[in-house]
Amino acid sequence: MIMEGLMNKLFRSLVCAYIFCAISINGFSVKPEVVLEQNLWVSGEDAEISEYRTPVMIRALNGDILAFAGARKISHGDASAKVIIMRRSKNGGNKWGPSVFVVDDYMNTDGLNLGNAIVDEQTGAIIFIYSFCIHNECDFSKYTPTNFKTVSYDHGYTWSPPVDLAEKSPFFEGWNWAPGPGYGIQKKLAPNVGRLFACGHWGNSTYGLMTCIYSDDHGETWTQSEFTVYLPNNMTKNVGDFTPGEPQIVELSDGRLLINARNQHFFHSRNRLIFYSDDGGKTFPMSNLRVDLTLLEPGCFASTLIHQGVMFFSNPFDKSSRVNMTLRWSLDEGMSWAGSLGIYSKGSGYSCLSPIDDNHIGLLFEKDGYKEMHFVKIKFA
């Protein structure tokens, strides 16, 4: 373990030396370095849990950092019975409280699936949206694919009973749409200040779509963004086909919205797909699509975060394998990338970035073939 830690530090140092890690934006120095690492969950430590996957991490309005995972009970499969599990840090990720269950699907085959956590800064609420029965393996005599929400009004200490979103927004009925994973956002700039967003993709890979949902009444009712349809439509997908999925949405400094999406079947190249919306998230037109040729894509969820005017991006930086967890940063909102920092050179999966304070961000990622859910605290200024 000591040797592994030294090798990882050496790897990070070499990467930084190569691309000149210290960058400045308007006099603000951007020089990312890892200052703390620890496992939040380790598969096999709890007899009830087979594997911890799909990280989600947010900062609550009281400053606490909340880390979530989709804990799979019986097997590592996507349709395994699950629980949404959470840990809390009250001191910027230095120490973490015990694990608590937020939602438990008990032993349902093809039960819950993470999930977007959204902080509503106008009300203080945290809204967690997740899907149910999206892999078409559930008992259809009892269940219909849909999406649920659970809400906390006390920074994640207590959560409301789950509510089926189809009750007030009927289009969710039978909708096998998977939000996230990752976090949702609230618009801070015009147009549509205060609008909440959660983004995801269709669960069926033959006839599929990527879309967001948005709410202008603090999550009571929701509206669909225009669909981005997989191409060729209604056919089995092959390498090179257009299949965007697992999107992460952020708001740019001019009020536009950007989605950084998984390029599942490597449309055009093995790189990430970037979408923009100029109309408050109603549409993400194909005319605004671009492929980011810097961001390699092995077919994996990745995280994007804008904090203190800097865009950060994390993913397994490899064109074929889930290895080499890497942090990149941009000073022009993703049009170019100023530098990169190697976090972990071996097995790396899904990740989620979160602000911690003005000088730190957090990274939560699946490590070593999903054996560990690993937290990294990064000082960047």
Catalytic-labelled residue, pool 78, 164, 226, 278: 78
Catalytic-labelled residue, pool 52, 366, 370, 372: 366
| Contact between 325 and 340 (Cβ < 8 Å) | no
Strand partners, 150: 128
CA torsion 348→351→356→358, rounded to 10°? 90
33 catalytically annotated: no
Taking the C-alpha atoms of residue 116 and residue 152, their distance in angstroms, rounded to an integer, is 14
Taking the C-alpha atoms of residue 7 and residue 366, their distance in angstroms, rounded to an integer, is 19
| Contact between 269 and 291 (Cβ < 8 Å) | yes
Ramachandran area for residue 293 (φ above 0: left; ψ -120 to 50: alpha; else beta): alpha
Taking the C-alpha atoms of residue 166 and residue 175, their distance in angstroms, rounded to an integer, is 9
350 catalytically annotated: yes
Strands (E), 207-338: 209-215, 223-224, 228-229, 244-251, 257-263, 271-277, 290-296, 303-307, 310-316, 323-330
| Contact between 197 and 187 (Cβ < 8 Å) | yes
366 catalytically annotated: yes
Taking the C-alpha atoms of residue 154 and residue 31, their distance in angstroms, rounded to an integer, is 34
Catalytic-labelled residue, pool 130, 344, 350, 370: 350
Q: Which residue has the tokens 């989600």?
A: 56
User: What are the φ and ψ backbone dihedral angles of 231, each rounded to 5 degrees?
Assistant: -130, 140
Catalytic site residues? 78, 350, 366
